[in-house]
Structure 1
Amino acid sequence: MQALKFSKLTLLAVCLTSVLAACGVLPEKVDETQSWSTSKLYAEAQSSMADRDYSKAAKYNAMLVGRDPFGKFAEQAQINTAYAHYKDGDTDQAMADVDRFIRLHPSSPIIDYAYYLKGLITFDDNLGLFGRFSGQDLSERDPKALQQSYETFKYLVEHYPNSQYAKDAAERMRYALNAMAKHEVLVAQYYYDRGAYLAAANRAQDAIKKFNRAPAVEDALWIMVEAYKKLHLTKLSDDARRVLAATYPKSDYLTYGYKRSKRSHWWQFWGGTTS
């Protein structure tokens, strides 16, 4: 009986709480930002960014833009929202944010940064540019995203050559281009390993035509040498070998063959040395 009485009391308390809330008797949760000035809101957004609380930073920046879309902090807050979403891992929202910014503010003094950020989003380099690629292989990523990143960085470099972001963008272009070239070579190697030698040779040749300055060209030439050899197309195989020897006279492929080749990491700069 005691347990039944307790259950009835609990149910009554729940019902009363619901009724009071519906009537507006109970206090609603207070929005702490409601009384903040735009300066205060911007400062808190910047503080959240510094603390790497990117979710809160995105929230505060979005609030600021909503409250004062034409104020002195509005443009910076918009691009900061995109950056915060990017750092928070929400790349789709970050891309939507940055595209909106570019559309609304084509003459903004920070438009070069907007393009740089757009390139970063598709490049998806959350680990940083230098020294931490050893666990990644960009060539295994979606080549369309890499192409988009490359084109965005290229636009930045060509249209804003004096931008403080131009040098870094140019370096990232090299990484993206090398990765796309390596992707093509990986596909050619895939065909070769499965006995589709003509497809392998054609794909390798395409890689050379599209990315004739990338380090992966050396690999593509060797695939052509071996694929044509398997097809008993001796002249084509010899021609490919001559081009390899002329272009890469110190190539390990010429001495050891494919299996013993000591390749430098693809993500190094063109002309980089083996690490």
Structure 2
Amino acid sequence: MSYVIHGATGAQGTPVLNRLKAAGKPVVAAARKAGTADDGTPVVAARYSSVDELTAAYEGADGVFVHLPIGPEEERAAYAGTIVAALSVARPGRVVVSTSGAVVDSPGSPLQAGADAAVPTLIRGLEETGLSYAVIAPRLFLENLLLPPVLDAVRAEGVLRYPLRADFPVSWSSHLDNADAAAALFDRTDITGTVAVGQHPGLTGPDIAAAFGAHIGRTVSYEPITPEEFGRQLSPVIGAGGAAGVAGLYAWFATATENTIAADNSAQRILGLKPRSAHQWLEEVGR
């Protein structure tokens, strides 16, 4: 019996895998090809497009951690279908899903994902399986602030440039906070539904700039930029297609007044887990 971790070499999956290993739980990484990772972790072939591979990976598992990869929405929706089909057959003991920032728990917000979007489709299908499950719902990841165009400007110029209004509060969280919540939810099988992960109340751009300033020992100001400019800065780093997608996401954020979680379904209330402050996170990641 083991825990199957999707994206175990990526930003979200790696901290979950490490957190479970530190707790002494047996883990298996789900990837395109089977083998053994450099640290000795077994790897099973589990392509999102293959119901058979996913079913084989999930069978007998104590738990599965899954999140949809970045890509075209129609492709992600198809993956949601194959994942649910495999879970329905394999029947693992527990499933924990990360929304990766898709908003699924704020129906009054313009940022709420549509019912037919990939992540809500995955959650709805998972609910229909009758399996024990929980959903982690972060908003924006602090790790986004480590992108070279962002971090370089902080260090070289003392300016945090980001495509959010200065008065726009966000329930920032780190991948480490997400992993803490995932590990807790694998043990807390009494909890079903959505658990929001992030700062409450939310932090604004100047708040984050102040945290950077405290970390590096100099004044850091905040300068909002347009989503289009952010996309141009990111294009050499993640490619034109990915940069365009990111720019579109932040343009969408501009339609709302905030991107924050509610207190009633927060990890703080449900799990007793307080997310790292921006300064704590910077100290921990050592940037």
Q: Under a length normalisation based on structure 1, what TM-score does the superposition of the two structures give?
A: 0.28
Structure whose alpha-carbon radius of gyration is higher: 1
**Which structure has more RCO (C-alpha within 8 Å, separation ≥ 6)?**
2
Select the structure that is richer in strand: 2
